[in-house]
Amino acid sequence: MQTNRLVKAKNSSEGQQCQPGVIGELLKNIKRRVKVPVIQRHFPATQGLICELTCGKPAIPPVVVSRIVNGEAATPHSWPWQVSMQPTFFHTCGGTLIHKNWVLTAAHCFMSERCFNVSGIYRHESFRYPTVPTVEFDIALVRLDGDVEPSNEISYACLPSAEEVLPGGKKCYATGWGDETGNSMNASVAEGLNQVALPVVPYDTCKRMDYWWFQVKTSMICCGYTLPDELQSVCQGDSGGPLVCQDIPGGSWEVHGITSFGPIGCVMNKKPSVFTRSSAYLPWIENVLRRDIYNEHSKNTAGLL
């Protein structure tokens, strides 16, 4: 599947004031109706002032139609925030570029915290799978060791509002290079980025015993069609990649979900794809960034009196 970007464009009525630092940039990507503290009061800006950032608006718009049966190839560069995680030089998981230094992905993509060209991997502290039978807290942030320069082919996805819950039936798009065969014993990476339209399955439906029962939590999103002849899903290799949605047609794309888990074979009746709900973890994301900035500042000022 595929990637797009995180920083949300300002409306002209929202003023032109810049927020310094990484936290300020990311907070601008969260919808303006969310009240957040002014991080600059507590942490010095380390990245300078960056104004007029936009997110969720690909320079090359994706071709989205009302119905996609089994997924389809994505238009090149139409999901410009899609990231391929390659800890062993081969595609393993997807990710979402949400800032020039940060990628949002799944915690289970890093059972071994060995990775190249990154300066930090932050898995959620409460992630315990497979020690526990549920894949809860399946979220991670990856700190890149350099800046990603935005272009027509690379950009950021927006973040949703805190605790925003998508209504049942809302159509979103998942993207990635995951397996197209459904053969869990011999999964293979797709040659090109694929996209698939998936409607949200209400939590009350997804938690039923004949669906995912106790394995699904309120901090997750279930997506997929319910009729056997309409089944489609994400698959191995799509993990960590984005589930993006628009509030309105033509609006900014927001990363509402992180591909987490699904049934063996990927497609099964009453077993929709399950995503980590990113809106449930915005405080965690902010805290990780706060700690990272604090640690960098402490390291750079160590020994000074």
Give the domain ranges of the chain: 12-63+80-157+281-301, 171-280
Token duo for residue 262 = 């699904």
Beta bridge partners of 255: 244
228 pLDDT more than 50? yes
Element (H, E) at 292: helix 282-301
- Averaged pLDDT for residues 115-125: 83
Task: Give the pLDDT of residue 13.
Answer: 29
Q: Is the dihedral of CA 274, 280, 286, 287 positive or negative?
A: negative
Task: Give the pLDDT of residue 146.
Answer: 85
147, 271, 284 from 288: Cα distances, Å:
18, 32, 6
Task: Give the pLDDT of residue 109.
Answer: 87
From the CA atom positions of the chain, what is the Rg in Å?
Answer: 19
CATH architecture of 12-63+80-157+281-301: Beta Barrel (2.40)
Task: Give the pLDDT of residue 26.
Answer: 58
Query: Edge-to-edge strands of the sheet including 82-85?
Result: 82-85, 93-99, 102-105, 140-144, 118-123
Token duo for residue 255 = 């990363």
Residues 224-255: b if buried by 16+ CB within 10 A, e if exposed: bbeeeeebbbbbbbbbbbbbbbbbeeeebbbb
Q: Which of 87-101, 106-120, 212-226 has maximum average pLDDT?
A: 212-226
Any idea which residues carry the catalytic annotation?
A: 108, 138, 239
What is the reported pTM?
Answer: 0.77
Q: Average pLDDT, whole number, for the chain?
A: 77
Distance CA 230, CA 209 (A): 21
Of 156 and 23, the one with more pLDDT? 156
Q: Residue type for 2, please?
A: Q
Quick count: other Cβ atoms within 10 Å of Cβ 266? 23
215 pLDDT more than 70? yes
pLDDT band at 142 (very low <50, low <70, confident <90, very high): very high
Residue 179 makes CB contacts below 8 A (sequence gap 6+) with 187, 188, 189, 190, 235, 236, 237, 266
8 pLDDT more than 80? no
246, 276, 278 from 281: Cα distances, Å:
19, 9, 5
Distance CA 253, CA 256 (A): 9
- Averaged pLDDT for residues 277-284: 97
- Tell the residue number behind the tokens 């694929």, with chain if given: 194
99 pLDDT more than 80? yes
Q: Residue type for 79, please?
A: W
Task: Give the pLDDT of residue 226.
Answer: 67
Beta bridge partners of 243: 174, 257
Reported CATH class of domain 171-280:
mainly beta
Of 132 and 210, the one with more pLDDT? 210
Q: Residue type for 97, please?
A: L
Q: Is 226 left (phi over 0), alpha (psi -120 to 50) or beta?
A: alpha
Q: What dihedral angle (degrees, nearest 10) is formed by the CA atoms of 263, 264, 270, 273?
A: 30
